Structure 1
Amino acid sequence: MTSVLERPSPALPVARPPQHRWGGALWTAPPLIAVLLFAVYPVVRVLTESVTQSDGSRGTGTWSAVLGSELFRNALWRTVSIAVCSTAGCLLLGTFVAIVLAFAPFPGSSVVGRLIDTILALPSFLITLSFTFLYGTAGAVNALIMDVTGRDTPLIDFLNTPAGVIAAEITFFTPFVVRPLLAAFSQLPREQLDVAASLGASPLRVLRQVVLPEAWPGLMAGGSLVLLLTLNEFGIVLFTGAKDVVTLPVLIYTRGIVTFDLPGAAVIATVQVVLSLALYALYRMVFSHMIDRGRGGNDAVVEPI
């Protein structure tokens, strides 16, 4: 008697429950409603308020009055100039600090790195207050100089000027450049540095041709972020007490809170939003272009001497 192996019958397909088209919509509805309520609606409300005239009618009279005023033009120029100068200072100082921490470690460098992380968690006005305590007319540095030299007037008096605002913003926003650069430097293979050094390249040449090309995405990301933040910074300008330094955020505060000129404040706020969105779009274009170039395999090469 021979045994016969029976072929197993094919398994029947498992019936799947019918998919409801409304399931995805139900999941996307809450975040969409939140975005519309907390992000889109305030912007739309500002835009509609900016075309409201003093008699309650709709028109562009408020836009013409605000954009044609000398105060607005001066505030716009002051905002852009402070943001550009602060960003340039943050890039220079942040690049130097990141290079030292990454390639020239010293005793206590880890503590410095933790302090940089701590600054990121602090509000901006604390930096301004510390500047006042140190470099104000009645600060510790001026008191020391007056005690040593016998002066009757303070030697350092720059906090109430654009230079004081720029110095405070550089101090506060430099960590936003240091951190992306340190992350970029950590991805740099040590073998590239060793090969460049073995070919006889000087440290400055290695830095220029090997290190910095790899750090451009991080540098662009940190610089763009700092430019956006300094363009919209309000607390540092307010706490320095610089009455002659009127930026767009300060002008919005003055028009909307002090003088209750809501349509005028809405016009300036709209200009501020347009500037921020334009900078963000430019940042995305440049960053995507640099990513595409990086995918093309353009490795840094150091020619032998």
Structure 2
Amino acid sequence: MSAILLERPVDSVEPPPPDATRRRWRAALWTLPPMLLVLLFAGYPILRVLTESTVTSDGRGTEVWSSVLGSESFRNALWRTVSIALASTAGCLVLGAFLAIVLAFVPFPGSAVVGRLIDTVLTLPSFLVTLAFTFLYGTAGAVNALIAELTGRDTPLLNFLNTPLGVIAAEITFFTPFVVRPLLAAFAQLPREQLDVAASLGASPWRVLRQIVLPEARPAMGAGGSLVLLLTLNEFGIVLFTGAKGVLTLPALIYTRGIVTFDLPGAAVLASVQVALSLTLYAAYRFVFARVTARKGQ
């Protein structure tokens, strides 16, 4: 027996069975078409944008990157984009959490209709919300007309649509349903018995909300907030239709460089920065989500 063991190499590994090898190759072949589609519809346009960003008058180089990234307009647009996206996301989280809690735990006549109206907003283009804001809160809108009728004012009282506040308000109105929907799904899975037991033990509604409801809603709020932040970073229609000329975000600056002034290399640089922001946000979300999932699994 010992002689047989000595004759066999220690580091010998049993080859995988033919069926396992065949299954691996079959799985690899099934994943090949989706990967090719992703490379065609996502990778190729990004590669073309990066290639266009290196075009200069003398050939190719990094002069366009240096001039665009060093310009004051880029810094202002980047700051404006990030600040509007963060403020809009915070507003959507607060308003979305409030609406979801009311719809889920405070029954009232017409709650189902309100829920369907919130879902309807998801199907509308963003510029329709901006047009509605113009008709309601514009300088010649219905609200200012009513205030002028009641007070006799000659100048409009509300004049915020052309400011960052108007863009933030329109984005909160349009993107709040993206927070409400995941929260309603999370609240639907919350055991009602747990809430009844907490209430029977004398816990106040605020304590039940703070210690039971909101902790269960954190993953849904994180998912909805990440989606809203990604969408607001890339939002262009609301900024364009508000007519806020002083509110220049990165998407608006890309439009100005590429369409108005026909500076394609400069627009390509800005688009590359926009893509990098979106991919960084997505990678951060995946990292945090994996850490939270691993912690829950422990």
TM normalised by structure 1 equals: 0.88
Q: Could you tell me how far 1:122 is from its partner in structure 2?
A: 0.6
Matches within 5 A, 1:45-60: 45-55=48-58, 57-60=59-62
Secondary structure class of the residue paired with 1:200:
coil
Q: For residue 32 of structure 1, what is the amino acid of its counterpart?
A: M
Note the alpha carbon deviations across 1:122-161, whole angstroms, 9 max, x for none: 1100000000010011111111111111111111100000
CA distance in 2, matches of 1:34, 1:295: 34
Partner of 2:78: 76
Structure 1 residues 22 and 283: CA distance shift in structure 2, 3 A: closer
Partners of 1:182 and 1:24 in 2: how far apart? 37
Shift of 1:290: 2.0
- The number of residue pairs the alignment matches comes to 279
Q: Which residue of the partner structure matches residue 276 of structure 1?
A: 278
Q: Which deviations, in whole Å up to 9, do the C-alpha atoms of 1:86-128 show, x marking residues without a partner?
A: 0000000000000000111111000000001100011100000
Distance (whole Å) between structure 2 residues aligned to residue 28 and residue 204 of structure 1: 49
From 191, 208, 211, the equivalent of 1:209 is 211
The one-letter amino acid of 1:212's match is L
Find the residue that maps to 2:107 and give its secondary structure.
Answer: coil
How far residue 45 of structure 1 moved from its aligned partner, in angstroms, is 0.6
Name the residue aligned to 2:155. 153
* Alpha-carbon distance in 2 for matches of 1:27, 1:117: 36
The answer for the alignment partner of 2:9 in structure 1 is none
* TM-score normalised by L of structure 2: 0.90
Give the superposition deviation at 1:207: 0.6
What amino acid sits opposite 1:42 in the alignment? Answer: P
Aligned residue in 2 for 1:41: 44
Alpha-carbon distance in structure 2 between the residues aligned to 1:203 and 1:21:
54
Whole-Å separation in 2 of the counterparts to 1:289 and 1:29:
29
Tell me how far apart the structure 2 counterparts of residues 25 and 279 of structure 1 sit (CA, whole Å).
Answer: 29
User: In 2, Cα distance between the equivalents of 1:244 and 1:215?
Assistant: 37
Shift of 1:38: 1.1
Distance 1:245 1:200 in 2: 50
Identity rate, percent? 78
**1:233-280 superposed Cα distances (whole Å, 9 cap, x missing partner):** 000000000000000000000001111111111111111111111111
One of 99, 113, 137 as aligned partner of 1:97: 99
| CA displacement at 1:165 relative to structure 2 | 0.1
Residue matched to 1:184:
186
Find the structure with the greater CA-based Rg: 1
- Matched to 1:118, the amino acid is T
Q: CA RMSD in A?
A: 1.8
Counterpart in 2 of 1:163?
A: 165
Q: 5+ unaligned residues in a row in structure 2: which ranges?
A: 1-18
